[in-house]
């Protein structure tokens, strides 16, 4: 097999609150990683929002034949969720600033250009860009596109706007050759799929009584949660809205897990090797209201964000096998506190589905 990293010639130009022109992805092989690099120019002031550099994309979709989503992030602040998710999985911050020419330096206020790097690695080994544990089967598709919808231009700073931007794309792909195992008849690969659920906090709820059905029909590898507090002019991440989560099977009463939010965050730190401050006054318990420099993100747990790794409860690579289950067979229960209008949690269901390759 041949391994290639390819920088695409097509790019997208920033336009506020717009669906950018879809970019066609290569279809010669199996895509193992997709990188989006946003080169953004904006004006930063002392009122720059937390997550300022993460807020540049509203929706992100990688779609194939029949509208099948290999990555389906739609909702509020999806680039924030994507950035934090991949930071957990890949273990690195997702910004490089050209302020003073120092990577990971915090830009000064004023006119600033920065690069935000967002990666989608569908496999289980983020250290290998050609990891074949889960792939997008591009060679078998008649169409494959990445689609971005941008945010408003005032999402990074209350006193200054995004003034320009360009998105470039890079893919890692494996090209199969005769004799490769995946080039043989009946070869099967795991493929990513996923969707988002925006869950408004309509009222306080005790004892995990606010519920949602878990999507079935595939493996559930992880659940990603982004909790938003409607504070000030923009929603902020905060931990005192979603107080706990419970996953259970109503028909049998079997509980998969049941954790309060701080225990859940601690588990996320442990599983993904993230260092954090385990105190109520630190980032775990505090609302994110300041603009941290990107370098500080290496040593803090983001407020209002958790990755629930389902591989510890099921298959060690794929997670819970829900292919034989029906809707409502698996429930997610939430305990909601300090509810105010505009509070919500966005869940991303990180799923995998085996597909037979066409050879």
Q: How far is CA 90 from CA 102, 221, 224, 231, 357, in A?
A: 21, 16, 15, 30, 27
Nearest partner of 23 among 54, 49, 60, 50, judged by Cα:
60
**What is the model's pLDDT at position 50?**
78
- Chain segment 213-235, per-residue pLDDT in tens: 999 999 999 999 999 887 655 77
286: Cβ contacts below 8 Å, ≥ 6 apart:
239, 280, 303
CATH of domain 2-356: 2.70.9.30
Q: How far is CA 63 from CA 133, 147, 177, in A?
A: 20, 8, 25
Contact assessment for residue 144 and residue 15, using Cβ atoms and an 8 Å cutoff = no
- Chain segment 99-133, per-residue pLDDT in tens: 544 444 556 677 778 888 899 999 999 889 999 99
The DSSP call for residue 302 is P
Helix, strand, or coil here: 19?
A: strand
| Paired strand residues for 220 | 320, 351
**What is the model's pLDDT at position 101?**
46
Between strands 162-175 and 331-336, the pairing is unpaired
Nearest partner of 295 among 94, 90, 57, 86, judged by Cα:
94
How far is residue 357's CA from residue 343's CA, in Å, rounded to a whole number? 43
| Paired strand residues for 59 | 149
How far is residue 202's CA from residue 93's CA, in Å, rounded to a whole number? 33
Q: How far is CA 55 from CA 220, 234, 236, in A?
A: 27, 11, 11
**What is the model's pLDDT at position 95?**
67
Contact assessment for residue 17 and residue 161, using Cβ atoms and an 8 Å cutoff = no
**What is the model's pLDDT at position 235?**
77
How far is residue 304's CA from residue 1's CA, in Å, rounded to a whole number? 42
Count H helices, E strands: the chain? Answer: 2, 20
**What is the model's pLDDT at position 150?**
94
CB burial of residue 46 (10 Å; 0-12, 13-18, 19+): exposed
**What is the model's pLDDT at position 10?**
96
- For the entire predicted model, the pTM comes to 0.89
Residues of the chain with pLDDT under 70: 92-108, 231-233, 273-301
């Amino acid at each position: 097999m041949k391994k290639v990293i390819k920088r695409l010639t097509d790019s997208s130009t920033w336009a506020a609150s717009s669906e950018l022109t879809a970019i066609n992805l290569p279809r010669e092989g199996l895509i193992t990683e997709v990188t989006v690099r946003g080169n953004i120019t904006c004006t930063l002031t002392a009122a720059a929002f937390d997550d300022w550099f993460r807020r540049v994309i509203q929706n992100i979709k990688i779609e194939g034949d029949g509208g099948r989503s290999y990555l389906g992030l739609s909702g509020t602040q999806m680039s924030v969720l994507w950035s934090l998710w991949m930071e957990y999985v890949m273990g690195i911050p997702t910004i490089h600033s050209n302020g003073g020419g120092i990577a990971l330096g915090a830009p000064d206020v004023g006119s600033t250009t920065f690069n935000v790097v967002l990666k989608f690695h569908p496999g289980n080994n983020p250290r290998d860009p050609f990891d074949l544990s889960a792939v997008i089967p591009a060679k078998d598709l008649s169409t494959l596109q990445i689609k971005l919808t941008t945010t408003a231009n005032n999402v990074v700073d209350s006193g200054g706007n995004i003034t320009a931007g360009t998105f470039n794309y890079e893919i890692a792909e494996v090209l199969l050759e005769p004799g490769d195992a995946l080039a043989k008849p009946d070869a099967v690969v795991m493929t990513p799929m996923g969707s988002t659920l925006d869950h408004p906090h309509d009222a306080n709820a005790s004892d995990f009584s606010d519920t949602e059905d878990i999507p079935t029909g595939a493996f559930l590898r992880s659940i990603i949660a982004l909790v938003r507090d409607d504070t000030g002019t923009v929603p902020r991440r905060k931990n005192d809205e979603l107080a706990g989560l419970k996953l259970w099977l109503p028909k049998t009463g079997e509980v998969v897990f049941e954790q309060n939010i701080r225990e859940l965050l601690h588990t996320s730190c442990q599983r993904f090797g993230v260092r954090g401050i385990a105190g109520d006054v630190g980032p775990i318990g505090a609302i994110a209201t300041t603009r941290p420099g990107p370098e500080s993100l290496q040593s803090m747990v983001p407020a209002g964000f958790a990755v629930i790794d389902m591989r510890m409860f099921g298959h060690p690579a794929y997670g819970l096998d829900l292919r034989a289950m029906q809707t409502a067979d698996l429930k997610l229960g939430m305990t909601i506190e300090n509810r105010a209008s505009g509070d919500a949690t966005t869940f991303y269901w990180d799923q995998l589905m085996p597909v037979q390759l066409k050879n």
